């Protein structure tokens, strides 16, 4: 093994290099651990994601609480607010529906936490309507469908038309809880297909 000037022996290649003990450091030597730039980028992105989602979910919840009417009418207004926010803030919509997953497990955990807040509004509908939840997964399915609607519009770069999808989003969320006819009425759709 050849010595490198001022650095001790050169690293061995292959398995022997992975099994060899690291060289002993001199006492008091300063060791710098540089963060991976990708980790720093992901940390900044996740902090921005958290801030954007907090604002969006606060607006969604505020709309739900401040709207008069039944749960169905209030959730319809809240979904409309969410779709409108995504349409008018395309960079943030991209961040929250696509880019967040670049951070791997940390991004997925943040996404799941945000989705849980929306799922609570969906679950409240069952409680308020006095309807037994057909499946404990229904609130997750409803929230996931709205998320996917926003994500697909962001991915296809057509967020400007996202508010036009409100009747579809409302039907997906409302139908399992209030029934198809009431969901159609609240969504403002006269379609029966």
Q: What is the pLDDT of residues 40-61, one digit of tens each?
A: 788 999 999 999 999 999 999 9
pTM: 0.74
As a whole number, the mean pLDDT across the chain is: 82
Beta strands in 85-139 (DSSP E): none
Q: What six digits make up the tokens of 66? A: 């401040």
Classify 37 as helix, strand or coil.
helix
* CB-neighbour burial class of residue 132 (10 A; exposed 0-12, middle 13-18, buried 19+): exposed
What pLDDT, on the 0 to 100 scale, is given for residue 124? 78
The ranges assigned to domains in the chain are: 37-187
Q: Are 183 and 175 in contact (CB under 8 A)?
A: yes
Q: What six digits make up the tokens of 125? A: 């509908």
CATH number for the domain running over 37-187: 1.10.357.10
Size (the chain), residues: 193
Q: What is the pLDDT of residues 86-109, one digit of tens each?
A: 999 999 999 999 999 999 999 999
- What is the Rg, in whole angstroms, of the alpha carbon atoms belonging to the chain? 25
């Amino acid at each position: 093994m050849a010595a490198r000037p001022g650095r001790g022996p050169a690293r061995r290649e292959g398995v022997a290099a992975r099994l060899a003990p690291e060289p002993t450091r001199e006492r008091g030597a300063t060791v710098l651990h540089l963060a991976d730039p990708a980790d720093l980028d992901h940390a900044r992105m996740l902090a921005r994601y958290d801030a954007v989602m907090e604002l969006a979910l606060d607006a969604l919840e505020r709309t739900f609480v401040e709207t008069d009417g039944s749960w169905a009418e209030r959730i319809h207004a809240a979904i409309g607010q969410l779709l409108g926010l995504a349409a008018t803030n395309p960079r943030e919509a991209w961040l929250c529906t696509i880019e967040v997953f670049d951070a791997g497990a940390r991004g997925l955990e943040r996404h799941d936490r945000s989705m849980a807040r929306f799922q609570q509004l969906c679950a409240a509908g069952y409680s308020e309507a006095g309807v037994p939840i057909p499946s404990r997964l229904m609130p997750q399915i409803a929230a996931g469908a709205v998320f996917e609607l926003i994500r697909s519009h962001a991915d296809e770069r057509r967020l400007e038309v996202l508010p036009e999808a409100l009747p579809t989003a409302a039907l997906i969320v409302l139908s399992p809880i209030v029934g198809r006819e009431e969901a159609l009425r609240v969504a403002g759709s006269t379609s029966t297909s």
